[in-house]
Amino acid sequence: MKQIAIFGATGSIGSSTLDIIARHPERFRASVLSANRQVDALVALCQRFEPDLAIIADPALEGELAAKLKAAGLRCEAAAGPSALDQAAAGPLCDTVVAAIVGAAGLGSTIAAARAGKRLLLANKESIVISGELLLQALNEGGGELLPVDSEHNAIFQCLPGGRPPLARSGVRRLILTASGGPFRGRKRDELTTITPDQACKHPKWSMGRKISVDSATLMNKGLEVIEAHHLFGASADQIDVVVHPESLIHSMVDYVDGSVLAQLGNPDMRTAIGYALAWPERIDTAVPTLDLPAIGKLHFEEPDLETFRCLALAFQALRAGGDATTILNAANEVAVEAFLNGQLAFNAIPDLVERVLAELPQQSVVDIPSLMDRDRAAREAALRVLASTC
């Protein structure tokens, strides 16, 4: 039986993972659960799944978590803070880690799991966007395995022979990431000047957290996925294309030199990708409905509008710049999205802020994780200065 640590258990990825675990109690057990600040939601999950350890990210809430676990009569330890996440990721309570903490906050535990040789189910794309080859190096040193949980990268993984072989030896010409286009597909930049957070978070196909929903609305999420695909599959920026596919039924494609294009299709439900990663190389029932192609009738494709949705263009720019430019991109974007959600920044100003930070902090060579974290902090400070100057 696999012992699963779910970091970000109260989010959408965590909920879908727990749904699959509940359907296959003979195969999987949730041994470690974490949440950011949602103590009551975390305790409720502990009552249902009875993990060995519950972790709250905010150290100030550890006492409350411990007290509520005890009051519920649970034999579950409580811990808090980034160090607790890192220790749990590397420790003996789990053999599999679902990395679903949003943003740069998930980097430490992701690296710790990789170094410890765990099976790493990567749903935190920011970790690989920030650390790139350093994460893959940690994975190789630890001897574990990485399985992508993002639906797009999971689809590519399924369409490649052996999952993640060198593309040059696999006859691959291009990786084609599909994008729904988000809630504002078809609109022009001047039509997005008064967009509210609630409008941006209303994704037409997927149910996601607010940060990733905004990223999907700006197409920055697709840009981060382009960077992730570069690191996961060794594809250059010129080998990665993005195609808008509003039905969200083809999750990505692989174009081969012989003219074949392999696509992975399925209903827009994250349980497909999560179940595949949990059970790989086997397949298990995830309760996702069968795709009814006659009922769908038609599939549509179009080029992304890079003038209106400039975040995708900025992501390609950062990838081509190399070094730590993608770290700078991600940090600036996190500050910009938080400011937008808090009503401090207009929707259209998100790419403007990111672009200014990229210009202020030209790329540097990647040396190690501590230096990357220094650059991440510098980018956030620069983004806050830009934000202050625009308010």
Q: Determine if residue 37 is labeled as part of a ligand binding site.
A: yes
Contact indicator for 41, 62 with CB cutoff of 8 Å: no
Residue 73 burial class via C-beta count within 10 angstroms: exposed 0-12, middle 13-18, buried 19 and up: exposed
Q: Which two tokens stand for residue 102?
A: 């949003």
Q: Determine if residue 50 is labeled as part of a ligand binding site.
A: no
Q: Determine if residue 259 is labeled as part of a ligand binding site.
A: no
Q: Determine if residue 209 is labeled as part of a ligand binding site.
A: yes
* Alpha-carbon gap, residue 134 to 108, rounded angstroms: 12
Q: Determine if residue 152 is labeled as part of a ligand binding site.
A: yes
Q: Which two tokens stand for residue 159?
A: 């369409």
Contact indicator for 138, 115 with CB cutoff of 8 Å: yes
Q: Determine if residue 36 is labeled as part of a ligand binding site.
A: no
CB hemisphere CA count around 262 (13 angstroms): 15
Q: Determine if residue 222 is labeled as part of a ligand binding site.
A: yes
CA distances from 70 to 43, 54, 74, 99, 336 (A): 10, 12, 6, 27, 40
* Alpha-carbon gap, residue 232 to 179, rounded angstroms: 18
Contact indicator for 152, 205 with CB cutoff of 8 Å: no
Q: Determine if residue 355 is labeled as part of a ligand binding site.
A: no
Q: Determine if residue 124 is labeled as part of a ligand binding site.
A: yes
Q: Which two tokens stand for residue 210?
A: 């607010």
Q: Determine if residue 151 is labeled as part of a ligand binding site.
A: yes
Q: Determine if residue 245 is labeled as part of a ligand binding site.
A: no
Q: Determine if residue 216 is labeled as part of a ligand binding site.
A: yes
Q: Determine if residue 195 is labeled as part of a ligand binding site.
A: no
* Alpha-carbon gap, residue 219 to 303, rounded angstroms: 13
Q: Which two tokens stand for residue 203?
A: 């994704």
* Alpha-carbon gap, residue 41 to 287, rounded angstroms: 24
Q: What angle do CA 139, 215, 224 make, to 5 degrees?
A: 35
Q: Determine if residue 286 is labeled as part of a ligand binding site.
A: no
Q: Determine if residue 176 is labeled as part of a ligand binding site.
A: no
Binding annotation for Mn(2+): 150, 152, 225
Binding annotation for NADPH: 10-13, 37, 124, 126, 209
Binding annotation for 1-deoxy-D-xylulose 5-phosphate: 125, 151-152, 180, 203, 216, 221-222, 225
Binding annotation: 10-13, 37, 124-126, 150-152, 180, 203, 209, 216, 221-222, 225
